[in-house]
A and B are shown apart, each in its own frame.
Chain A
Amino acid sequence: MKFLLFSLLFFGIFSVALAQKNKLNYHIAPQISLLNGDQSVSGQLGLIGVWEKNKWGFGLGAAIDYYKVRTAPFFFTSHYYLNQSKQLAIYASLGLNMAWPLENQFTNNLNRGGWGSIQHKGFTNGAYADLGIRYSLANTKLKGLSIALGYSMKTTKENFTETIFMPVIGGMPNSIIVPRTLEYKFNRIAITIGYRL
């Protein structure tokens, strides 16, 4: 957690400094999302930093995503304004979904039969993507609230090692250790409120 907070802080300071140096139109925006998924609703807290030129914007973002299994997406983001007032934009993000599960989010009761055992090995990182449309309620300096509606997807993989026995009835046990994985793909509708600083 400390690592994540420090990363976000460092990212914010670094991106502001970079924008000033390159004379680009730069802003950062903390945002909070409501994630409506498959029989589950959860949330996401994030921060994006964007450099803008004309109607295009490109930047970086990080978030904490609590949908079903806690993860920390780190992503590149971009947007394109659909009108001159720059109130309406489409956006897309793509990046890494860093696994960061809570202790009670491990699958610990996989069904199985016969002899053998299953050892939980943890999660591995996956992918993160979202896209949608954003409407700015900002003032003329484009500061202030925005609301967005989009589709958000994240993946992660849960890994196990499983000892299974070759199907012999007699003789010495003849076991092998094989990987067993659960690869999740979570799809959500995201309603996001951001505040452009």
Chain B
Amino acid sequence: MKPIMLLFTSAFLLLFSGCVKDAVSESYTFYRPVYKTKASVQNAITTVASSLISNAGKIVLKDHYIFLNEVDKGVHIIDIANPAKPVNLYYIAIPGCVDIAVNGNYLYADCYTDLVTIDISNPANARLKKVNEGVFPHRIYNGYYLDTTHIITEWVKVDTVVKSRFTGTLTQSITQNINLRNRAVMDFASVANSKAFSGGFGVAGSMARFALSNERMYTVSNTDLKVFNISQAASPEFTGKQALPLGDIETIFPYKQNLFIGSRSGMFIYNTINPDQPKKLSQFTHARSCDPVIADDNFAYITLWGGSFCGGFSNQLDIVDIRNLSAPTLLRTHPLTSPKGLSKDGDLLMICDGNEGLKLINVATASFIKSVKTVGGFEGTDVIAYNGIAIVTAKDGLYCIDYSNPEKAFIAGKIGIFAH
């Protein structure tokens, strides 16, 4: 028996030695881009029937129309002539669009690395007028360097499994090619919210990176400020750019001859006396966080949203004295829950404060602010306060809030957002 046992043992070792390879199956999710040619995308930039809102971005108010960005896909045109019954009228497909501005009868939008100008004199028949190619080179997906002829039009969620041999121990790196996973650089959008524009400009919501002022459009990327001459509204011309300090730029707000630029670590004030070459006047540093900013003659209002991807943990309103634009100083701080977009109408400051809704605060005396009313029931992102109606983008819809009597502000109307 012993020779048989020995023979069997040897055969077993030889036959099965190849079986002792460990295996690991990694299951994960990533997004895969879908490409189209630039020509086909630009040909498709036109008005189509209204589309469901699924991922609301920036907002601009022009007359009784709201232009609502569908992040990375296009722009909804919503009629709020009757705030109690807002109507989603049209949709303009603009792949890669995250920022918009309205100048008279023209809509400016980014289309990935390009700036497109669209004639909206008849919203039912929007027409592409001009393309400024390559003016937003920062609009490149992380790890994706698009060529000049193709555009990513959508991303498809893919669940996948990768199998491989596992020779290491569990504390060592898994060696799958994770570079296949595609994530984009996330730039937090910013605010431009003003009623100080001339009549032809739309009122931008508080999460935009485009700002219109003095026949110029100013745009910010993470690291620079660009200037476009829009004296010919149908044909904007890129005139130049300058680097911005610190990086992580988020928002730009124009007020009179100044630009208030918000970054994750502070606010910068630029003067536009020479509109093509804004000049830095000063900067105000705060704790790291997301920070939309608006301003009036005397004060800048900055919301700090911590605990987010911006970093930091401060959740508050900073009121900064800017009577001396060269030396802004912190006047006071007011604690909030999770503040995002804000807007101001007269003495009334409105702040989207996380899931607490929209907070109305009287700032007639900036050093002694007084809470007036909180309209709850939604998680607001951005707000435009205009003529007694606050238009608020929220996770679950676009709200019209009547604040003509601030102490009795109420939700007048809503368009729902559909989960994606």
Contacts and interface: CB of A to CB of B under 8 A. Distances in A.
Indicate, yes or no, whether A interacts with B: yes
Interface of A: 36-40, 68-69, 83, 87-88, 101, 104-116, 132-133, 135, 149, 151, 158, 162, 164-174, 178-189
21 contacts: A38-B165, A39-B167, A105-B170, A107-B171, A109-B173, A110-B178, A112-B178, A113-B178, A158-B170, A165-B183, A165-B184, A165-B186, A167-B182, A168-B98, A169-B186, A170-B71, A171-B57, A172-B207, A183-B25, A184-B23, A184-B24
- Majority-rule SS of B interface residues: loop
Interface string B275-311: 0000000000000000000000000000000001100
A16 to B, nearest CB: 31
Interface stretch (B26-34, B353-361, B384-392): B26-34
Given A113-B178, A171-B71, A187-B19, A164 B183 contact: yes
A182 B23 CA distance: 10
A47 B23 CA distance: 27
Given A166-B155, A167-B184, A113 B98 contact: no
B20 A37 contact: yes
User: Which size class do B's interface residues fall under?
Assistant: 35 or more
Given A164-B29, A170-B99, A180-B29, A38 B174 contact: no
B170 A181 contact: no
B71 to A, nearest CB: 4
B124 to A, nearest CB: 26
B166 interface: yes
A171 B26 contact: no
Interface in B30-73: 30-31, 33, 55, 57-58, 69, 71-72
A165 B142 CA distance: 12
A158 B23 CA distance: 13
B249 to A, nearest CB: 12
A88 to B, nearest CB: 7
Interface of B: 1, 5, 8-9, 12-13, 16-17, 19-31, 33, 55, 57-58, 69, 71-72, 96, 98-99, 110, 139, 141-143, 155, 159, 165-167, 169-176, 178-179, 181-189, 207, 209, 308-309, 340, 381
Contacts of A133: 8, 12
A113 B12 CA distance: 44
Contacts of A38: 20-22, 165-167
A113 B28 CA distance: 13
Contact of A105 (B26, B96, B171, B207): B171
Contacts of A87: 1
A106 B171 CA distance: 6
Closest 9 CB pairs of A and B: A170-B98, A114-B183, A167-B184, A171-B71, A171-B57, A38-B22, A178-B29, A111-B178, A183-B25
Given A167-B155, A170-B110, A173-B309, 15 more contacts: A36-B20, A38-B22, A68-B169, A106-B170, A107-B174, A110-B174, A151-B16, A167-B182, A167-B183, A172-B71, A172-B340, A183-B25, A184-B170, A185-B23, A189-B20
Given A151-B19, A184-B22, A116 B167 contact: no
A113 B22 contact: no
A187 B169 contact: no
B163 to A, nearest CB: 9
A39 B57 CA distance: 52
Contacts of A162: 28-29
Given A165-B183, A171-B72, A186 B22 contact: yes
Among B8, B166, B175, B182, the one with the most A-chain Cβ atoms within 10 Å of its Cβ is B166
A40 B26 contact: no
Nearest to B19: A187
Contacts of B183: 113-116, 164-165, 167
A135 B142 contact: no
Contacts of A184: 22-24, 166, 170
A172 B187 CA distance: 8
A154 B8 CA distance: 24
A101 B169 CA distance: 12
A191 to B, nearest CB: 9
B98 A171 contact: yes
Given A167-B182, A168-B71, A168-B72, A37 B187 contact: no
Contacts of A172: 57, 71, 188-189, 207, 340, 381
